[in-house]
Amino acid sequence: MRVLITRPREDAESLAAILGERGIDALVEPLLEIRLLPDAVVTLDGVQAVLLTSANGARAFGGLCDRRDVPVFAVGAATARTARDLGFSNVHSAGGDIGDLAHLAAARLDPRAGALLHVAGTEIAGDLSGILGGRGFSVRRATLYEARPVAALSSRVMAAMADGSLDAALFFSPRTASAFVNLARGADVAEKCATIDAICLSAAVSKALEGLTWRSRRVADRPDQASLLACLQHSLEDRA
């Protein structure tokens, strides 16, 4: 079995290792290039906690912030693990989506204790500030990085699609999914998706892939890596 991983390389390599342990050949193809903004700064004055909605945000924040004792609230396990690996000592993990993160922060924090700093990229999914603002919190946004789609699919991926050796593709975000749709059309390999199962982290990710015809589009039960891998396993078993 061969599976395409479309995550940024920092996240894809560990996932490829997990798949390798299961006897699955992983083809790593980052579709977004993560770049720290040249004028990005972090100010923690008056901030009681930091909100991280992605592992990319954790890495960007870790590179700009010297403090490691600031409370960090991460959207899910993968982001929390990245923050801990960077040395942050007070990390709390939500269930995997923006709503879960807002609920956790509201349950653990006091609006009167200071502002919340939402570390973000230039593209933002969900209304974290709006949800928490409605609960009395002041939320500041620190835009630290941007994610740019790559210019083209690699020759390795196009060859795997052309010869039908790609069984499934993993998609973690609507933006990555949209990038793949555009790149596949541009490379004239869109029709090859009819033999590939698209494994999606959420319904929003699946919707972003509607522009192509897939063998199937499957959505994980929960927006986390463990659920996505379980979804992949069901797909591979159906193919066997």
pLDDT in tens, 119-164: 999 988 778 999 999 999 999 999 999 989 999 999 999 999 999 9
pLDDT at 107 exceeding the cut of 80: yes
β partners of residue 199: 170, 218
Mean pLDDT of the chain: 94
In 3-state terms, what secondary structure has residue 150?
coil
pTM: 0.84
pLDDT at 212 exceeding the cut of 90: yes
Domain-wise residue ranges, the chain: 2-31+153-239, 35-147
Q: Which fold has domain 2-31+153-239?
A: Rossmann fold (3.40.50)
What is the C-alpha to C-alpha distance for residues 193 and 181, in angstroms, rounded to an integer? 10
Fold match flag (2-31+153-239 vs 35-147): yes
Return the pLDDT at 10: 83
What is the C-alpha to C-alpha distance for residues 202 and 205, in angstroms, rounded to an integer? 5
pLDDT tens digit sequence for 77-90? 889 999 999 999 99
Return the pLDDT at 185: 94
Return the pLDDT at 105: 96
Q: Which fold has domain 35-147?
A: Rossmann fold (3.40.50)
pLDDT tens digit sequence for 14-44? 899 999 999 999 999 999 999 999 999 999 9
pLDDT at 222 exceeding the cut of 90: no
DSSP string, 44-91: -TTEEEEEE-SHHHHHHHHHH---S-S-EEESSHHHHHHHHHTT-SSE
Helices (H) and strands (E) in the chain, counts: 9, 11
The bridge status of strand 168-171 relative to strand 2-5 is parallel
What is the C-alpha to C-alpha distance for residues 95 and 115, in angstroms, rounded to an integer? 22
